[in-house]
Amino acid sequence: MIIVMRQGAPDEEIQGVVATIEELGYRAHLSKGEERTIIGVIGDERPLAVQPLEMLAGVERVVPILQPFKLASRDFRPQNTVFSLNGVTVGGDQLVIMAGPCAVESREQLLEIAAAVKEAGATVLRGGAFKPRTSPYSFQGLGVRGLELLAEAREKTGLLIVTEVISPTDVALVGEYADILQIGARNMQNFSLLQEAGRSGHPVLLKRGMMSTLQELLMSAEYILANSNYRVILCERGIRTFETATRNTLDINAIPVLKKLTHLPVIVDPSHATGKWEYVGAVSKAAVAAGADGLIVEVHTHPEKAFSDGAQSLKPGVFNQLVADVRRVAEAVGRTL
């Protein structure tokens, strides 16, 4: 449940309510809005009686949250979550563009692509050092060497780094290099990974599982938020359907539905959603028109030689055009890029 404090309730009253909640064996999470503070009561709330809480000083009302996700819900935090990372704002009016190769393959490859995506207007560089591959015989990523190359690319370009972590035991290591930890579709319900990423305090890009509902995605986000890590970005990356013309099917509905249910920023991955580079531009524009807060796009200077996902990777010139087209759509829906 949430406890909505009176407008302008002083700090002592807020702390008084927090202390009572903790004495009862629950955890309190604060959401400080411009007008009022909302206190989320986390724990098994079945035995908790509403009435005594309503009598505490400064409390305006006590409301049960009907959704199974609590901290991720708009009831807990009505205003959008917006946060800045080294000058890049996520969740605000300005869209965030993340781009780069599927995987870090070599120093030359990464630095060349990093320079190209920066030039086109991206502010975050993507690239996997640890790759969750369907086959154990496929390229698994460069590991620590890949992380070092990403750090070098950041140094050279000023781009932030988002890279995937596939194991709870690697969270600390990846966190030493990355600005944003990516949790991929295949690991969306790896609960120990979610917990560890939550505890690390690093911003997390959480991708929707290819067969997961939006409620399941939000429950996974809840694991991170419950560890007091509120810097979570959700990503729709296409789901499995009966359609075979594309690799996945972008669930465009996910954007307005998530925007209604949660305060967290929502971005779209048009590359994995389509699996084919020629559709990436159209789907990117649709995503931004539908209210996405940004995009994560695979770009490669030599897609035909890419170790993974070459078929869906854009050449820099095409990516450049995509950014220009998306900028016009962004302006039409009151956003900037």
By CB under 5 A, name the binding residues for Mn ion: 102, 309
| Residue nearest ligand PEP (C-beta atom) | 184
Residue 96, Cα to own-chain centre: how many angstroms?
Answer: 11
DSSP per residue over 194-252, as a string? HHHHHHH---EEEEPPTT--HHHHHHHHHHHHTTT---EEEEE--B--S--SSSSB--T
Q: For residues 119 and 100, give the distance between their C-alpha atoms in angstroms, rounded to a whole number.
A: 12
| Residue with smaller CB distance to ligand PEP, 209 or 281 | 209
The answer to whether 275 and 247 are in contact (CB under 8 A) is yes
31's torsion region: left (phi>0), alpha (psi -120 to 50) or beta?
Answer: beta
| Residue with smaller CB distance to ligand PEP, 231 or 272 | 272
Residue with tokens 């505490």: 56
Taking CB within 5 to 8 Å according to partner kind, which of ligand PEP, Mn ion, none is near residue 127?
none
Least distance CB 128 / ligand PEP (angstroms): 5
| Residue with smaller CB distance to Mn ion, 220 or 308 | 308
Taking CB within 5 to 8 Å according to partner kind, which of ligand PEP, Mn ion, none is near residue 184?
ligand PEP
| Residue with smaller CB distance to Mn ion, 73 or 274 | 274
| Residue with smaller CB distance to Mn ion, 28 or 233 | 233
Taking CB within 5 to 8 Å according to partner kind, which of ligand PEP, Mn ion, none is near residue 293?
none
| Residue with smaller CB distance to Mn ion, 53 or 297 | 297
**Residue of 250, 246, 255, 268 lying closest to 210 (CA atoms):** 250
Neighbours of 12 (CB within 10 A): 10
| Residue with smaller CB distance to ligand PEP, 53 or 254 | 254
Q: For residues 165 and 67, give the distance between their C-alpha atoms in angstroms, rounded to a whole number.
A: 29
Least distance CB 32 / ligand PEP (angstroms): 33
Residue with tokens 């359609």: 243
Taking CB within 5 to 8 Å according to partner kind, which of Mn ion, ligand PEP, none is near residue 207?
ligand PEP
- Pairing state of beta strands 83-85 and 59-63? unpaired
Taking CB within 5 to 8 Å according to partner kind, which of Mn ion, ligand PEP, none is near residue 170?
none
Least distance CB 103 / Mn ion (angstroms): 7
| Residue with smaller CB distance to Mn ion, 101 or 198 | 101
SS3 category, 118: helix
Q: Residue 304 class from Cβ within 10 Å (0-12 exposed, 13-18 middle, 19+ buried)?
A: exposed
Least distance CB 202 / Mn ion (angstroms): 21
Taking CB within 5 to 8 Å according to partner kind, which of ligand PEP, Mn ion, none is near residue 209?
none
State phi, psi for 27 to the nearest 5 degrees.
-105, 145
Taking CB within 5 to 8 Å according to partner kind, which of Mn ion, ligand PEP, none is near residue 113?
none
Least distance CB 173 / Mn ion (angstroms): 21
Least distance CB 194 / Mn ion (angstroms): 21
Least distance CB 48 / ligand PEP (angstroms): 38
| Residue with smaller CB distance to ligand PEP, 251 or 269 | 269
Taking CB within 5 to 8 Å according to partner kind, which of Mn ion, ligand PEP, none is near residue 300?
none
Tokens of 83: 């946060």
Neighbours of 107 (CB within 10 A): 14
Least distance CB 110 / Mn ion (angstroms): 14
Residues near ligand PEP (CB under 6 A): 102, 128, 132, 184-186, 207, 237, 269, 272
**Residue of 124, 184, 128, 167 lying closest to 307 (CA atoms):** 128
Least distance CB 105 / ligand PEP (angstroms): 13
